[in-house]
């Protein structure tokens, strides 16, 4: 169908296009469109609904094209037409109601009120990571809102959402997103995100969003047609790296920085979790991550609020979170994989893969002393020295967990910790995380030992891609196959098996587990020892016993925490004026209702934790 090309009035965007956001910006005067597309020779705006129109765009130079179209309203759907023939969604689309291949939609800006309360300081974050699609039966952002009272009563102060960017189909973890600015349509789109953010803020909970700046997914990824967003100078597990330091990389950096600012400024998000920053390759003198932090903090100052950037990295490189004045990149925190691996091996005795580097109480003790275990020592799994020293960094800069989406979902059968260990070990894991000096993270459902697995699931439309994913998944677990196949990631049943059973949180042993988590969080939030920013002092391991004891101090108050990973009692009892504040072996938290025979005094029981408290005043 031939569509006549219109010329619209030129705007002042040309002279100040770096001050105008990418994508479609609605105002009372119409809609401004701005796109960076140096690859095609011609770019036109193709409006497809409510009427069919083709509009010539103004070439601003440097690969930018703009148009200002009066009288357009929110709900208008459009593509960018490249070289007169290819209709492609807007790379900075805010909404893709028909999926990754369909038209983009103009969205009305909604002012997200700045919280009337002071967003928690990082040291007060207790993070709850969830996947929108499997957290509730409905699998939407709005469906999370009725669950917030339970999480608030638990003591959660920060809700972390796995990636929301539009991905192919209706089922995905979110790391195959290809429209980084668009909240996934099946989750409810951008309006639903704003409603959830408002609801969290009303309950004094911060919102953390997981964003992916190291790759885009394989289906619906049209960025290559617009410009040199990727480079073959570096390779990632997902193919070519994002072009953060090569020719024409400035607009690429701008694209991702504006994305971060969109989530924070326009959607009200309080922190970003940066996925796999070790796959962000950048040798420039002003690294992208540092520029990102500078831009984010400028907006935070403008809005008079706290905003944090939390990195995921497997490099154990303290430069990520050291201040710029000390040669670092200045990010606020990062995940500590070493803490998880140390804890996991002590609980499960698994030693395959990277778990070969762990297995003793000294590994966990080292993570408690400094934030991670490997700070330059030899790593068996890597066959080289690994990491550098994190000494001097604040405890809150290390995010620790016993479970997360990767460590559960990347197992062939998606087993949670409660599938791998008994009830006593599961309670010990909770105590180790929530009583550490670091920032704790819980994975959805762990607080009541939900029995649902968290399985890898996708819904690509391309059959060849579906086959490739299945074959790749099978190859990944070839050494672990026992006659059965990995669950099919494309099967709807795989997705539905991963849905939580939140009704269990109020029933029997699951309710008792949740009550124990709430008690641990209450201790953390009320005791002065957790106000201290430093790592643990006096971390001790005991020859002949698989126990770790460490001290947290806050003014005149001290906590002595003992974690016993052995199968026999550890002879540490209440000393002097100490009080026993908590025991995981308390019968109240038992797997079975009648567990009165469990010791509530005396030595530290096998696979249990005890908190001894002392105040001098």
Catalytic residues, by residue number, are 275, 312
Half-sphere exposure (Cβ direction) of 460: Cα atoms closer than 13 Å? 21
- Report residue 183 as tokens: 């909240």
Q: How many helices (H) and strands (E) does the chain have?
A: 14, 29
- The C-alpha torsion from 308 through 311 and 317 to 320, rounded to 10°, is -40
Task: Quote the Cα angle for 260-265-267, to 5°.
Answer: 90
Report the alpha-carbon distance of residue 226 to residue 167 in Å, rounded. 19
Contact 34, 12 (CB under 8 A): no
Helix (H, G, I), strand (E, B) or coil at 167: coil
Report the alpha-carbon distance of residue 424 to residue 609 in Å, rounded. 10
- Report residue 117 as tokens: 């309360």
Task: Write the CA distances from 327 to 285, 319, 414, integer angstroms.
Answer: 12, 7, 40
The total of other beta-carbon atoms located within 10 Å of residue 384's CB is 8
Select from 519, 545, 537, 532 the least CA-distant residue to 611: 519
Helix (H, G, I), strand (E, B) or coil at 189: helix
DSSP letter at 570 equals: B
Report the alpha-carbon distance of residue 502 to residue 92 in Å, rounded. 36
Query: Who's near 358: CB < 8 A, 6+ residues apart?
Result: 338, 341, 342, 344, 345, 346, 373
Task: Write the CA distances from 197 to 207, 210, 265, 513, 543, integer angstroms.
Answer: 7, 14, 12, 28, 49
Query: Who's near 259: CB < 8 A, 6+ residues apart?
Result: 92, 180, 181, 211, 213
Contact 296, 307 (CB under 8 A): yes
Select from 441, 428, 448, 402 the least CA-distant residue to 561: 428
Report the alpha-carbon distance of residue 208 to residue 136 in Å, rounded. 18
Q: Is residue 54 packed enough to be buried (19+ CB in 10 Å), middle (13-18) or exposed (0-12)?
A: middle
Query: Who's near 529: CB < 8 A, 6+ residues apart?
Result: 552, 553, 554, 557, 558, 559
Select from 38, 59, 46 the least CA-distant residue to 6: 46
CA 196: distance to chain centroid? 17
């Amino acid at each position: 169908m031939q569509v006549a090309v219109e010329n619209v009035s030129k705007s002042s965007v040309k002279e100040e296009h770096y001050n105008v956001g990418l994508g479609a910006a609605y105002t009372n005067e119409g809609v401004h469109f701005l796109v960076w597309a140096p690859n095609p020779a011609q770019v036109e705006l193709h409006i497809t609904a409510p009427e069919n129109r083709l509009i010539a765009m103004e070439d601003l130079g440097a690969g930018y094209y703009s148009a200002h179209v009066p009288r357009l309203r929110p709900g208008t759907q459009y593509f960018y037409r490249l070289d007169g023939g290819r209709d492609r969604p807007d790379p900075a689309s805010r909404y893709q109601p028909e999926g990754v291949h369909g038209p983009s939609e103009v969205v009305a800006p909604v002012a997200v009120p700045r919280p009337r309360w002071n967003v928690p300081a990082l040291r007060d974050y207790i993070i709850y990571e969830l996947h929108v699609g499997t957290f509730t039966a409905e699998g939407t952002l709005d469906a999370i809102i009725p669950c917030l009272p339970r999480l608030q009563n638990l003591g959660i102060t920060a809700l972390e959402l796995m990636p929301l960017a539009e991905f192919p189909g209706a089922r995905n973890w979110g790391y195959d997103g290809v429209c980084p600015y668009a909240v996934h349509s099946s989750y409810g789109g951008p309006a639903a995100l704003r409603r959830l953010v408002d609801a969290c803020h009303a309950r004094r909970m911060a919102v953390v969003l997981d964003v992916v700046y190291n790759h885009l997914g394989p289906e619906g990824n049209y960025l290559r047609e617009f410009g040199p967003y990727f480079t073959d100078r570096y390779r990632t597990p997902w193919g070519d790296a994002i072009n953060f330091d090569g020719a024409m990389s400035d607009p690429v950096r701008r694209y991702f920085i504006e994305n971060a600012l969109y989530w924070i400024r326009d959607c009200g998000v309080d922190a970003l979790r940066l996925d796999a920053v070790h796959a962000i390759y950048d040798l420039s003198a002003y690294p992208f991550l540092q520029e990102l932090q500078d831009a984010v903090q400028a907006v935070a100052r403008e809005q008079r609020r706290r905003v944090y950037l939390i990195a995921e990295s497997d490099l154990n490189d303290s430069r990520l979170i050291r201040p710029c004045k000390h040669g670092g990149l200045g990010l606020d925190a990062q995940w500590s994989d070493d803490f998880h691996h140390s804890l996991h091996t002590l609980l499960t005795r698994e030693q395959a893969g990277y778990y070969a580097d762990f297995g003793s109480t000294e590994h966990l003790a080292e993570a408690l002393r400094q934030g991670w275990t490997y700070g330059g020592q030899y790593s068996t799994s890597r066959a080289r020295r690994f990491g550098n020293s994190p000494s001097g960094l604040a405890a809150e800069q290390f995010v620790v967990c016993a479970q997360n989406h990767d460590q559960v979902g990347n197992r062939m059968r998606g087993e949670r910790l409660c599938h791998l260990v008994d009830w006593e070990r599961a309670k010990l894991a909770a105590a180790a995380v929530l009583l550490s000096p670091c920032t704790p993270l819980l994975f959805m459902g762990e607080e009541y030992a939900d029995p649902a697995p968290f399985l890898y699931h996708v819904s690509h439309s391309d059959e060849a891609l579906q086959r490739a994913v299945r074959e790749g998944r099978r190859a990944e677990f070839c050494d672990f196959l026992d006659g059965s196949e990995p669950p099919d990631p494309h099967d709807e049943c795989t997705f539905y098996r991963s849905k939580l059973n939140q009704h269990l949180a109020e029933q029997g042993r699951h309710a008792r587990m949740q009550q124990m988590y709430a008690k641990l969080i209450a201790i953390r939030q009320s005791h002065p020892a957790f106000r201290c920013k430093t790592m643990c002092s006096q971390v001790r391991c005991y020859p002949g016993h698989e126990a770790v004891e460490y001290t947290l101090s806050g003014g005149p108050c001290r906590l002595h925490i003992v974690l016993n990973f052995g199968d026999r009692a550890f002879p540490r009892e209440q000393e002097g004026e100490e009080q026993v504040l908590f025991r995981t072996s308390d019968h109240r938290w038992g797997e079975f209702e009648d567990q009165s025979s469990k010791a509530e005094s005396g030595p530290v029981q096998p696979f249990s934790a005890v908190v001894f408290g002392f105040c001098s005043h």
